[in-house]
């Protein structure tokens, strides 16, 4: 392992690896340290959706620009990341939700996104297996350029490209301490050795709280266990991701044919819990077959858990932390870290390599939690 680097990235998920790639491409000497293996945290456990339909302007902007990057990422990285644009269909269940949807769609359209509001009878035109009555929908919104990519392939492709540009990626390496001197980052101590550096990026997902404590920074993060199931493989039935904010369900059909989706269990509270629950399996099966009754015949093959690193406003914490020079924050994605990763790494690369900041980064700094008027992202699912 190198003993010196321009930047040390803590965490080998999709955000850590994409940042490593972009920084290395700019000619910086980058070292990644990952406690387990690449994509072993939230990235590898995620639902793999890529959505642009958000309620806050920042998230919508980040997502639209991220999709532009995703569209050409396979050719940029030289590996197929299995990006597909089957759209996102968001079920709308009542008048209150419809009002919020209309507001969201107006804002999204103002940013150039193509989004439609569907009547109930138009829903099965997009996803034929849905039972509109069963899902109790009065309408839906649909964005055809939303989609899906393979989180493992994306992360590995970024990591390979990063290595080609000289980045060093160390898996099975645990950070023991982050040293500061004169309120600035000085070194990262790991179980495999110490790396001298002036810049640390904290992309450690739910463990980023522990990393931040090493430099006496408190992050308002709560881990929420989230569960996902995958069924056996079926012939192609639909292309869109179907989601509902009210029921919390989301599901899509993967390229290989399996249905993958999740739902929060009603009584779930935050905490470090990793065991899957039988309550999820029942609740998901019941809701999924209410939405698409034909799926009653399908067997579940796998079921796993991962974490959302929730912030109070369900938006990420990005950028340099005040008071610790060189400590760059990149976590708190609250369940949508994969889909905005292209823009997150782009903006942080500008910040680290060119000291360029942006309006979006400013609005997502840790500092915002000191203010009183925090705008909460409402369009959170799962």
Minimum CB–partner distance for residue 303 and other proteins (Å): 7
How far, in Å, CA of 278 to CA of 306, rounded?
15
Minimum CB–partner distance for residue 13 and other proteins (Å): 23
254 makes contact with other proteins (CB under 8 A): no
257 makes contact with other proteins (CB under 8 A): yes
* Pairing of the two strands 258-262 and 139-143: unpaired
How far, in Å, CA of 51 to CA of 70, rounded?
12
Nearer to other proteins among residue 99 and residue 233 (C-beta): 233
Phi, psi of 154 (to 5 degrees): -65, -45
Minimum CB–partner distance for residue 258 and other proteins (Å): 10
Q: To which residue do tokens 């996902």 refer? A: 228
Query: For other proteins, which residue of 75, 133, 182, 235 counts as binding (CB under 8 A)?
Result: 235
For the chain, give the longest Cα–Cα distance: 64
Element (H, E) at 168: strand 168-170
303 makes contact with other proteins (CB under 8 A): yes
Query: For other proteins, which residue of 164, 233, 255, 322 counts as binding (CB under 8 A)?
Result: 233
Nearer to other proteins among residue 112 and residue 236 (C-beta): 236
236 makes contact with other proteins (CB under 8 A): yes
Nearer to other proteins among residue 184 and residue 298 (C-beta): 298
Element (H, E) at 142: strand 139-143
Residue 236, strand partner residues: none
Q: Map residues 271-300 to x or -, x wherever contact with other proteins holds by CB under 8 A.
A: --x-xxxx--xx-----------xxxxxxx
Query: For other proteins, which residue of 232, 359, 362, 367 counts as binding (CB under 8 A)?
Result: 232
Element (H, E) at 253: strand 250-253
Cβ–Cβ under 8 Å, residues 128 and 181: no
Binding site for other proteins (CB under 8 A): 232-237, 257, 273, 275-278, 281-282, 294-300, 303
């Amino acid at each position: 392992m190198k003993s010196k680097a321009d930047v040390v990235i803590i965490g080998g998920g999709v955000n850590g690896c994409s940042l490593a790639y972009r920084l290395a491409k700019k000619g910086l000497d980058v070292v990644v340290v990952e406690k387990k293996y690449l994509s072993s945290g939230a990235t590898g456990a995620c639902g793999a959706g890529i959505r642009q339909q958000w309620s806050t302007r920042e998230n919508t902007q980040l997502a639209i620009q991220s999709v532009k990057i995703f569209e050409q990422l396979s050719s940029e990285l030289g590996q197929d990341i299995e990006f597909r644009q089957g759209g996102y269909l968001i079920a709308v269940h009542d008048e209150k939700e419809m009002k919020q949807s209309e507001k969201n769609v107006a804002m999204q359209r103002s940013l150039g996104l193509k989004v439609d509001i569907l009547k109930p009878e138009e829903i099965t035109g997009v996803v034929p297996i849905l039972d509109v009555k069963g899902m109790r929908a009065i309408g839906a919104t649909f964005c055809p350029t939303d989609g899906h990519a393979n989180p493992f392939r994306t992360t590995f492709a970024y990591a390979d490209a990063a290595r080609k540009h000289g980045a060093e990626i160390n898996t099975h390496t645990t950070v023991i301490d982050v040293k500061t001197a004169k309120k600035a980052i000085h070194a990262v101590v790991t179980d495999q050795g110490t790396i001298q550096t002036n810049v640390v990026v904290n992309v450690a997902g739910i463990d980023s709280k522990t990393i931040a404590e090493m430099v006496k920074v408190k992050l308002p993060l709560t881990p929420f266990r989230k569960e996902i199931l995958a069924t056996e493989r079926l012939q192609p039935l639909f292309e869109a991701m179907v989601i509902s904010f009210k029921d919390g369900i989301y599901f899509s059909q993967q390229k290989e044919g399996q249905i993958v989706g999740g739902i929060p269990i009603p009584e779930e509270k935050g905490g470090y819990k990793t065991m899957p629950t039988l309550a999820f399996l029942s609740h998901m099966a019941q809701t999924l077959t209410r939405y698409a009754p034909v799926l009653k015949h399908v067997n579940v093959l796998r079921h796993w858990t991962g974490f959302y690193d929730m912030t109070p406003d369900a938006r990420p914490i990005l950028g340099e932390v005040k008071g610790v020079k060189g400590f760059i924050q990149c976590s708190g994605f609250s369940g949508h870290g994969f889909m905005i990763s292209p823009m997150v790494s782009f903006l942080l690369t500008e910040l680290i390599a060119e000291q360029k900041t942006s309006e979006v980064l400013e609005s997502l700094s840790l500092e915002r939690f000191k203010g009183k008027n925090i705008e909460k992202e409402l369009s959170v699912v799962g």
